[in-house]
Structure 1
Amino acid sequence: MAGELVSFAVNKLWDLLSHEYTLFQGVEDQVAELKSDLNLLKSFLKDADAKKHTSALVRYCVEEIKDIVYDAEDVLETFVQKEKLGKTSGIRKHIKRLTCIVPDRREIALYIGHVSKRITRVIRDMQSFGVQQMIVDDYMHPLRNREREIRRTFPKDNESGFVALEENVKKLVGYFVEEDNYQVVSITGMGGLGKTTLARQVFNHDMVTKKFDKLAWVSVSQDFTLKNVWQNILGDLKPKEEETKEEEKKILEMTEYTLQRELYQLLEMSKSLIVLDDIWKKEDWEVIKPIFPPTKGWKLLLTSRNESIVAPTNTKYFNFKPECLKTDDSWKLFQRIAFPINDASEFEIDEEMEKLGEKMIEHCGGLPLAIKVLGGMLAEKYTSHDWRRLSENIGSHLVGGRTNFNDDNNNSCNYVLSLSFEELPSYLKHCFLYLAHFPEDYEIKVENLSYYWAAEEIFQPRHYDGEIIRDVGDVYIEELVRRNMVISERDVKTSRFETCHLHDMMREVCLLKAKEENFLQITSNPPSTANFQSTVTSRRLVYQYPTTLHVEKVINNPKLRSLVVLTLGSWNMAGSSFTRLELLRVLDLVQAKLKGGKLASCIGKLIHLRYLSLECAEVTHIPYSLGNLKLLIYLNLHISLSSRSNFVPNVLMGMQELRYLALPSLIERKTKLELSNLVKLETLENFSTKNSSLEDLRGMVRLRTLTIELIKETSLETLAASIGGLKYLEKLEIDDLGSKMRTKEAGIVFDFVHLKRLRLELYMPRLSKEQHFPSHLTTLYLQHCRLEEDPMPILEKLLQLKELELRRKSFSGKEMVCSSGGFPQLQKLSIMGLEEWEDWKVEESSMPLLHTLHIKVCPKLKKLPDKHLPSHLTAISLVNCGLEEDPMPTLERLVHLKVLELGFISFSGRIMVCAGSGFPQLHKLNLSELDGLEEWIVEDGSMPRLHTLEIRRCPKLKKLPNGFPQLQKLSIHGLEEWEEWIVEQGSMPLLHTLYIWDCPKLPGGQHFPSHLTTVCLYGMYLEEDPMRILEKLLHLKNVSLCQSFSGKRMVCSGGGFPQLQKLRIYGLEEWEEWIVEQGSMPLLHTLYIGDCPKLKELPDGLRYIYSLKNLKVSKRWKKRLSEGGEDYYKVQHIPTVEFDY
């Protein structure tokens, strides 16, 4: 694989020399020689890649080639940019500061000669190591034969992992036995999902063996030969009595033509089932399929990682995608492998081992192979200590571990999942490795990812030439999804892949391969300068969740091409000089807090930069030198709104390669930006008429996304003329913030045939019958339109509309009607801020697919439609509506409803009743700000599946109803007249999490559900010590007390809190003394105490809690708790002690 990746880099360098050939006048001979050397080098790399597993010396050579190629590309591209940009005033001085720059053609000639010598030397070394110039494409190293043997599958393999497949097997068997319409069935999914296991169960099923006269099983794999596949099929289909050595020899001697003819005739005359296991490419199927006649006697079962393997023309085809195992089934499979003993006395599986096992299988993500690998590793480990040690780094163990449920040690997760990676073309290998940037469970934005790829020139020229970057990115993601290496789905509103992520095991493979190839350096916390500067050799660097980063001190790698910061919040950029990083192509400083709010002027020296993001960064001043960045294709200046006045110089017009531009939401009024030259733009966000002219938009015909703020006085005619020619728009947003534009009676005609998303915040009092919205519109937002007539008769005719939001003052009338058959595709409806709306009629069969309904701040709406609310609703939110009647009788008939929110005087009655058998699917219920509610009655059988209940500020509600057999999480806020919370025996038996805010008292110990694991108390100011009640909860693991005790003394008794692991105490202003008796909290590992000013000292009993690993306390105790301090003996056993503000 290393050779393929380096070949990709070699091709990029070749393209640079070819495309910019005219700029190398005077050194043409040297360039021609270098191109010849590169061509020779590529042929050697093919052989090197085949031998990468067998020679460390060869791998060293490949790494040396990578350095040569990258160094050459850096210097030659810098030379090219000097030739293109150096005539501009000041730029030559900047370029000369590059350490590798050459000032004239004589030196570039010398440098090219130097590169050629390095190439000659490395080729000589490769030849001495046995690497030959590889000309023949079908070269096969013996290792490939070994790999094929390893991957070969058989129809009768032992199935120790047959778990949860019964339903899938039954369904698939039906396609072969009962369904005559389906000729070809495929089972597709990622490696290790159990496709072969499933196919094997179908192949050996009694109903299948009775249905077919002949059965054949062939393992295809990556490096199959056509003749071998046909020979195996024919051998299986021949009658068993004919299986003699002579017959076998006859088959082996057949030509491909003879094999095809024999098989064709045999399949024509028999009812046969053929299984092609592990087929990789559509092209493989194309060469195999000529043996299948058009007659319908035969059927075919394929297994593949690639969904693009399709059926032959005019053949009905079904693709089956198995899902990963659910938690219960994962545990069953794990037990079969990890506990294979017959005599339970051999070793004891204690409770801790069981919990560790349950936790570890979560990392397997339901992938059967990963569960088998884990079970195999644990099967011979007999103590809880062994299990605990393995669980600490479970990811790397799973990927790098070996199985013991198979005789072949190579059959590990790493090996099986890596096969998918090895099969990728080189450009997709780069795309996949780029995903190593992102942390576990990170939702990766495909748009950003696409521009990363484009900035690093990973896109293939044949895909990228003239195409939209976002489209090419979607093509690549789709290919990775089809190969089951990336998890993503197209968004129903945009038809694009919006986010993607990796399965846990595939991510481990990605990290492993990235490390092997030195593709990327990942750091979560900036280490010390000395240590880090000596270790960073990769040309890509990502910081995950830093708090502070000093670029000048920490990063000293002049060859760095990519610097990305990923964060969940703001972080401090202590140094912003990039003088040593002038080869950067990608710089992502999302949410950075820049010193003084200024981006350093040295940013202009990064003349190779293609991607620059300051999204949500705290920046107020962009320097003029930004104009030097002529190669930028992505520029995100959508900086933090905390920056009230932002300066952006008028230098953007020179960035003619820009495809994506996001401007700040707030720019100084006097700033004028000329943008008419940016005709390659595909996305333009936060365009404002305050700073730019609408006329500039006319030439941006490639735009797919455009958001406009109309601030200066603007006419409808000017707006229409400026954007009317943007015929490829897919998303358009127009916010009128002061243009004083008034539409004509007919409104605005949006003649954009590709438009899918439209948001309008402007005065538009009427949608006439002549109004035409784009027919493909999927999402529509209207606000401040002040429509005088009901918009529903027009909008309900938009056949593709899936989401509709009518926001503040979008409609000023009183009645809306949704007609029968209207809104056939609508899935989500939000109506907010319609202050005059009183009556809503919904006719039968309207909005048949609606699943989400939000109605908020519609104070005059007195009731819901009685009969015809769409029956498939799953989520409803009613907030600040003037409902006069109890809405429950209407809502509880919605049998698919799962989430319900009623808030802020949505119901003004005193009593609310939930009838028995009502809300059969309700999972989550939120009641808030119901000022008049005094009594809530829940009859037996109501809400049988409710697992989350939140009650906020219902001041007159005095008690909770009983019941809720499935309730798991309960939050109670501000029940001021709460008298008692009585939990009857057996009520809420599954409740594990309890949050209580601003309530006057704590329930008595006898009233707490016994299985609670988490209790959080906020703002309660209890007078009595809460510990005496809480410590008796035997399953409690997490406790938070925040402003919830007004007394002076708390005691944790010996034997109390037997399972507690985390304790957080904050804001107890009167608390002075804490006693912890020996034997209390024996499993506590994390303790946080903050803002408790009168607490004199930490309890002596902490020194007996040997499980404590993390302690965080006020910095005023630092002296006492540090080594040599008077209380150091209490905490000296704790590995991590931190001091807060």
Structure 2
Amino acid sequence: MGGYKEVVLLRNPSRGVGKSEPETFVCLSKDDERSPKKSSGTIMAGELISFGIQNLWNLLSQECELFQGVEDQVTELKRDLNLLSSFLKDAHAKKHTSAVVKNYVEKIKEIIYDGEDTIETFVLEQNLGNTSGIKKSIRRLACIIPDRRRYALGIGGLSNRISKVIRDMQSFGVQQAIVDGGYKQPQGDKQREMRQKFSKDDDSDFVGLEANVKKLVGYLVDEANVQVVSITGMGGLGKTTLAKQVFNHEDVKHQFDGLSWVCVSQDFTRMNVWQKILRDLKPKEEEKKIMEMTQDTLQGELIRLLETSKSLIVLDDIWEKEDWELIKPIFPPTKGWKVLLTSRNESVAMRRNTSYINFKPECLTTEDSWTLFQRIALPMKDAAEFKIDEEKEELGKLMIKHCGGLPLAIRVLGGMLAEKYTSHDWRRLSENIGSHLVGGRTNFNDDNNNTCNYVLSLSFEELPSYLKHCFLYLAHFPEDYEIKVENLSYYWAAEGIFQPRHYDGETIRDVGDSYMDELVRRNMVISERDVDTERFETCHLHDMMREVCLLKAKEENFLQITSNPPSTANLQSTVTSRRLVYQYPTTLHVEKDINNLKLRSLVVVTLGSWNMAGSSFTRLELLRVLDLVQANLKGGKLASCIGKLIHLRYLSLMLAEVTHIPYSLGNLKLLIYLNLDMAYSSRSYFVPNVLMEMQQLRYLALPYDMGKKTKLELSNLVKLEALENFSTQNSSLEDLCGMVRLRTLTIKLIEETSLETLAASIGGLKYLESLTITDLGSEMRTKEAGIVFDFVHLKTLTLKLYMPRLSTEQHFPSHLTTLCLESCRLEEDPMPILEKLLQLKELELEHESFSGKKMFCSSGGFRQLQKLSISGLEEWEDWKVEESSMPLLHTLRIWECRKLKQLPDEHFPSHLTSISLGSCCLEKDPMPTLERLVHLKELEFYKSFGGRIMVCTGGGFPQLHKLKLSELDGLEEWIVEDGSMPLLHTLEIRWCPKLKKLPNGFPQLKNLKLAGLKEWEEWIVEEGSMPLLHTLSIDSCPKLKKLPGGQHFPSQLITINLAFCGLEEDPMRILEKLLQLKNVSLDRSFSGKRMVCSGGGFPQLQELSIYGREEWEEWIVEQGSMPLLHTLYIDDCPNLKELPDGLRFIYSLKNLEISKRWKKRLSEGGEDYYKVQHIPSVEFDD
């Protein structure tokens, strides 16, 4: 097998300090072994399969002494690989049109995988053979031949298989290409930098949709009768983009109290959707409680919440009408809510009802298509010196015609061409697209989806081979799943995807970020860089791009996806891929459910815990990736056979129910990622002292509580890039000294520790970006000026330890953007030092961080600060702020500072948009200070003012939209002058028991919630007050005896909820005159015995709910009342004698829910059946 120059690759022994070990190679030509020169160490094979060949080549090119006894076979195999690579280009080109050639390519993959497994196992045995325990475990591996002779036969067998497949391909016309060596190198750094400078902004794909947004916002904000708005159309039309623009629109934010966005997907569960909605609408601290609720409890909570609040729920990507029917039961008849949904299926929310609107966006015009395309493919077009090449313009306009106005196809096409720098590249792509479309059609009807799919598929084919692997890995994750880029980066690294030239001096996270950046710029993956970390934190796929990803993963046999473990027989016959992912399993039995002995990757994707019935991995000894996140292991023990997985690079037991870690874990010497941050347990975890052997580790997360018995030596782990939950109780701080590559570090100080030891141990970690130090009982005490932090790259710093004095600003990292201090008990005001940190954007002074009484923020300080949170400062009394301090501050939170008596009178930060004050003891009315803040939009007081009177003067709070007053126990009078809060649209007053009177005014008020006003007796509404009010909720106001009468009651009300009030007069005579009223809920709010709904009353009422009326005996409904009523609820009204005869004249009534005691009378044959026989749905509740 001649005709090519043989190269032998040797690892380069030189390594740079503070860098990740460069995976570079020295290349020696056999023609001139004395003249070494730098090479990429690659062989030519430009398609997906090239990755396996390159990895196998690298394994075969290690130190020669490793292959003593099999040298001839290794040399022969390398020659065969080089020859094989010369056929791959033509084979790949023909596999799309020839099933036979495609089968050859699949055979090659299997040969390469088998070769990698055999050679890597052989190398591991040579490296680890002197360790008896490892040698013993390796010899038990079923796929390993224990002696060199048998290895020689195995390697020779690989050569024979390669020779045969080459002969077969040649006989079928596959041509050999000249091997020119190496991967195509990327464009120069300067050009890449210029392209990134002009990369797209957040609105780059928002073209030609402005009118659509305006119309949809109008439906949700201005059209009171519209309840559900559906955006429907084919995939790639921009439905989700449109919904996001509406969701984030200022008018929408002002209109609704709560907003929720849920990605539904094809395999959703009702439970998950309801949980997500409730989590969005409730405070974050209730999240754990929500996740523990049963489905019935969830439904009840959501109904109660949506009855009394005005909320917008976005349901993105609903597939079937039945899916909408499953989700619907949480929406109560009392409608303060609205739904915006997107779907490819127009029938999902179709109703012959004016409250349902279906909106179908049009495809982009030719002009808008060209505008969008230019923004992405030619990002520098707006630069003064830029001039578009005429040929490129002609080709670009020709190609976008094939996209049929579909925004997704245009974005992806533009992303492909943005990476192509010559007209020749553009011409080649244009010809590929044109040849696919018969006759070069330029407009489409039913063919749009096929065309879009082809453009998306072409974008995959144009990826470099390493990015193809990265992209296919996204097939692991369910639809609309938010994928963590950090975990993804370690998956990629564990699979050997990273290219040597990208890895020199970079961390795994850095390389993963650069790959994600390439995919994002090509518009194949959706992600944005985090403002604080400047990294991609999460990503996801557009639904059509995900279809391409799944299709390509299937074509390449890249991954097997299963949601529920099928039978053993089924798996035996179907699972041939070497990667397997379980999505949302309930139970997995490794021995029974997994039978592919060549499996390389086993990943579980879940949102909750799942049961792992068997944990024996003896038959899966070739695994590289094992992710058991949130697994509940039977008996709590990780089986000792885990130590047989010597190829393992990635192991995650995050949040898993594991109580025992075996000593055999130390056998896993190739691990680069190990997550032992297991589920919380009442007892501490014991981790054996075996981690020191894992010298390739880049990421290590230890259990939060390991107890005193665990003692770990970690000094050997010098390649670590992230270390979580390091504890001085279990390891020595001195072990950190050599970990110079660390970017992320969290330390718990438990054993007695000196500041000097801490500083000496971490002082050399100059690449740190995030550092957290928590004192949990080390009794470290010092009067020195804090810790000197000389970390030039540090951006996030959290200190939870006793530190009575701060270092000067020169000792803080210069690039620090986020700082959190807790339990420091600083004796001196920290502000004079902290305000000089020029890059600081977010500052949190938490519980006991400062023990002094006064803080002072001087002029010019905190130049970049945007968020300030101060809580739990028990002694803080006085805060002075000078003019021009904190000029960019937009969010302020002060809680549990009970001695703070007043806010700064002058020079309060003028750009504040949100203020939350809780559990403070302000004695002076804060309104005169705060009402001068012209940008303030949201203001909350919770137990924060002890005075009797608050006054808001005319012209104050010019931009305030939301105001919440809660538990102000001393407040008796609130005066709001004309012209104050002119834009206020949401007002909530809760549990202010001494407040007797409500102010008038509020010309823009739309939502009003009142609760717990124990002394409020009379509500006087002046003429013209609250003219836009559409949602009113009054709860637990027992002295309120009547509603405002006459013409002064807010006439635009749509929804009213009255609960636990003391109304003595029939409220119906007032409410029935409200011409816009559609939803009424009365819950224990009227103490009378008789209610009358007169003819002509409630002309727009659609839903009526009456609960808990124990005194209520008689209800009269005159003919002509409530002509549009369609839903009626009556519950817990034990003394109501009969339903009104007038119900039989309400022909619009579709749903009646009533207590079970009425079943006999209202069922067919019952005495009152005639009153309800026209109602399609009558339900009797227990």
> TM-score scaled to structure 2, two decimals?
0.66
What SS is found at the alignment partner of 2:83? helix
- Which one of the candidate residues 469, 493, 499 is aligned to 1:460? 499
What SS is found at the alignment partner of 2:116? helix
1:907 counterpart residue number: 945
Partners of 2:514 and 2:508 lie apart in 1 by: 10
1:742 counterpart residue number: 781
Is the CA contact 1:953–1:975 (under 8 Å) kept in the aligned structure 2? yes
Partner amino acid, structure 2, of 1:930:
L
**1:863/1:378 CA distance change after superposition, 3 Å:** closer
Partners of 2:63 and 2:1099 lie apart in 1 by: 74
Partner amino acid, structure 2, of 1:740:
E
Pairwise mapping of residues 498-577 of structure 1 onto structure 2 (< 5 A)?
A: 498-526=537-565, 531=570, 534-577=573-616
Partner amino acid, structure 2, of 1:579:
T
What SS is found at the alignment partner of 2:501? helix
- Which one of the candidate residues 887, 901, 906 is aligned to 1:862? 901
- Which one of the candidate residues 195, 199, 207 is aligned to 1:309? 195
1:7 counterpart residue number: 50
- Which one of the candidate residues 51, 65, 68 is aligned to 2:108? 65
1:522 to partner: Cα distance = 3.5
**1:334/1:848 CA distance change after superposition, 3 Å:** closer
- Which one of the candidate residues 81, 96, 113 is aligned to 1:38? 81
Pairwise mapping of residues 210-225 of structure 1 onto structure 2 (< 5 A)?
A: none
Is the CA contact 2:1004–2:1026 (under 8 Å) kept in the aligned structure 1? no
2:472 counterpart residue number: 433
> Is residue 325 of structure 1 aligned with residue 206 of structure 2?
yes
**1:1011/1:901 CA distance change after superposition, 3 Å:** farther
2:967 counterpart residue number: 929
- Which one of the candidate residues 241, 255, 277 is aligned to 1:365? 241
1:655 to partner: Cα distance = 0.9
1:845 to partner: Cα distance = 0.9
> Is residue 19 of structure 1 aligned with residue 25 of structure 2?
no
Structure 1 window deviating more from structure 2 (978-987 vs 417-426): it is 978-987
> Is residue 598 of structure 1 aligned with residue 474 of structure 2?
no
**1:552/1:136 CA distance change after superposition, 3 Å:** closer
2:834 counterpart residue number: 795
What SS is found at the alignment partner of 2:69? coil
Is the CA contact 1:923–1:948 (under 8 Å) kept in the aligned structure 2? yes
**1:874/1:129 CA distance change after superposition, 3 Å:** farther
- Which one of the candidate residues 125, 129, 144 is aligned to 1:101? 144
What SS is found at the alignment partner of 2:115? helix
Pairwise mapping of residues 774-853 of structure 1 onto structure 2 (< 5 A)?
A: 774-853=813-892
**1:770/1:870 CA distance change after superposition, 3 Å:** closer
2:800 counterpart residue number: 761
Please, which runs of 5 or more residues in structure 1 have no aligned partner? Answer: 139-222, 224-279, 287-305, 312-316, 336-349, 1115-1141
1:736 to partner: Cα distance = 2.1
Structure 1 window deviating more from structure 2 (981-990 vs 462-471): it is 981-990
2:300 counterpart residue number: none
Is the CA contact 1:614–1:639 (under 8 Å) kept in the aligned structure 2? yes
What SS is found at the alignment partner of 1:708? strand
Is the CA contact 1:2–1:517 (under 8 Å) kept in the aligned structure 2? no
1:383 to partner: Cα distance = 9.9
What SS is found at the alignment partner of 1:420? helix
> Is residue 627 of structure 1 aligned with residue 666 of structure 2?
yes
What SS is found at the alignment partner of 2:48? helix
- Which one of the candidate residues 898, 901, 923 is aligned to 1:884? 923
Pairwise mapping of residues 323-472 of structure 1 onto structure 2 (< 5 A)?
A: 323-325=204-206, 329=210, 331=212, 355=230, 357=232, 363-366=239-242, 405-406=443-444, 412-472=451-511
1:404 to partner: Cα distance = 9.2
**1:1083/1:454 CA distance change after superposition, 3 Å:** farther
Is the CA contact 1:563–1:587 (under 8 Å) kept in the aligned structure 2? yes
Partners of 1:745 and 1:931 lie apart in 2 by: 44
- Which one of the candidate residues 715, 719, 727 is aligned to 1:676? 715
Partners of 2:612 and 2:78 lie apart in 1 by: 42
What SS is found at the alignment partner of 1:657? coil
Structure 1 window deviating more from structure 2 (1094-1103 vs 587-596): it is 1094-1103
1:707 to partner: Cα distance = 1.7
Is the CA contact 2:580–2:603 (under 8 Å) kept in the aligned structure 1? yes
2:727 counterpart residue number: 688
What SS is found at the alignment partner of 1:95? helix
**1:409/1:547 CA distance change after superposition, 3 Å:** closer
Partners of 1:457 and 1:1097 lie apart in 2 by: 72
Partners of 1:1097 and 1:578 lie apart in 2 by: 62
Partners of 1:1002 and 1:550 lie apart in 2 by: 61
Partners of 1:1034 and 1:17 lie apart in 2 by: 80
Partners of 2:888 and 2:587 lie apart in 1 by: 48
Partners of 1:485 and 1:785 lie apart in 2 by: 46
Is the CA contact 1:679–1:701 (under 8 Å) kept in the aligned structure 2? yes
What SS is found at the alignment partner of 2:696? coil
Partners of 2:100 and 2:1090 lie apart in 1 by: 70
> Is residue 482 of structure 1 aligned with residue 521 of structure 2?
yes
2:767 counterpart residue number: 728
Structure 1 window deviating more from structure 2 (22-31 vs 653-662): it is 22-31
Partners of 1:805 and 1:730 lie apart in 2 by: 18
What SS is found at the alignment partner of 1:90? helix
Is the CA contact 1:777–1:800 (under 8 Å) kept in the aligned structure 2? yes
What SS is found at the alignment partner of 2:862? coil
1:84 to partner: Cα distance = 2.7
> Is residue 583 of structure 1 aligned with residue 596 of structure 2?
no
Partners of 2:129 and 2:150 lie apart in 1 by: 17
1:102 to partner: Cα distance = 1.8
Q: Which has the higher contact order (CA 8 A, sep 6+)?
A: 2
* Sequence identity percentage: 66
Partner amino acid, structure 1, of 2:134:
I
Is the CA contact 2:1036–2:1060 (under 8 Å) kept in the aligned structure 1? no
1:29 counterpart residue number: 72
**1:1036/1:101 CA distance change after superposition, 3 Å:** farther
What SS is found at the alignment partner of 1:847? coil
1:483 to partner: Cα distance = 2.8
Partner amino acid, structure 2, of 1:928:
S
Is the CA contact 2:806–2:826 (under 8 Å) kept in the aligned structure 1? yes
1:718 to partner: Cα distance = 1.9
Please, which runs of 5 or more residues in structure 2 have no aligned partner? Answer: 1-43, 217-224, 245-315, 318-340, 364-405, 411-436, 1038-1058, 1165-1171
Partner amino acid, structure 2, of 1:598:
K
**1:845/1:1049 CA distance change after superposition, 3 Å:** same
What SS is found at the alignment partner of 2:848? coil
Is the CA contact 2:516–2:536 (under 8 Å) kept in the aligned structure 1? yes
What SS is found at the alignment partner of 1:365? helix
1:533 to partner: Cα distance = 5.7
CA deviations over 1:508-533 (Å, ceiling 9, x no partner): 44344334333333344555666556
What SS is found at the alignment partner of 1:858? coil
**1:333/1:794 CA distance change after superposition, 3 Å:** closer
What SS is found at the alignment partner of 2:132? coil
Pairwise mapping of residues 923-962 of structure 1 onto structure 2 (< 5 A)?
A: 923-934=961-972, 936=974, 943=981, 951-956=989-994
CA deviations over 1:696-720 (Å, ceiling 9, x no partner): 1222222222222222112222222
**1:932/1:118 CA distance change after superposition, 3 Å:** farther
What SS is found at the alignment partner of 2:470? helix
Partners of 1:914 and 1:541 lie apart in 2 by: 63
1:818 to partner: Cα distance = 0.7
Partner amino acid, structure 2, of 1:849:
L
Number of matched pairs: 916
